[in-house]
Amino acid sequence: MGYEALVVLIFIACLFGGVYWYAGYSTKTGSAVDENQNFIPDSWEKNFGWFFSGKGIIMLVLGIGIGYALANVIG
């Protein structure tokens, strides 16, 4: 893995983090309906529930990938 992979993984992590942040922001401000108060809009949860239920695993895998790519670029 080289520099390009590191940049792609960081971009994906920022993109996913932005989606998770916006889900919470939109429910806190009231612009999206969240019946069960889990900070995920109900319409998103219905269509992309797997994305939000696997949040911890997704970010863990991205973090490990970034660490591995960073170690290869530096070392």
pLDDT tens, residue order, the chain (75 aa) = 678 989 999 999 999 999 999 999 999 998 889 898 899 999 998 999 999 999 999 999 999 999 999 999 887
**pLDDT computed for residue 74 by the predictor:** 87
Instruction: Find, among 62, 60, 61, the residue nearest to 12 by Cα.
Output: 62
Q: What is the pLDDT of residue 1?
A: 62
- What is residue 9's predicted lDDT score, i.e. its pLDDT? 94
Q: What is the rounded radius of gyration, in angstroms, for the C-alpha atoms of the chain?
A: 15
pLDDT of residue 70: 92
State the total domains in the chain.
1
Domain that holds residue 35: 3-74
Tell me how far apart the alpha carbons of residues 7 and 60 are, in angstroms, rounded to a whole number.
17
The confidence score (pLDDT) of residue 56 equals 94
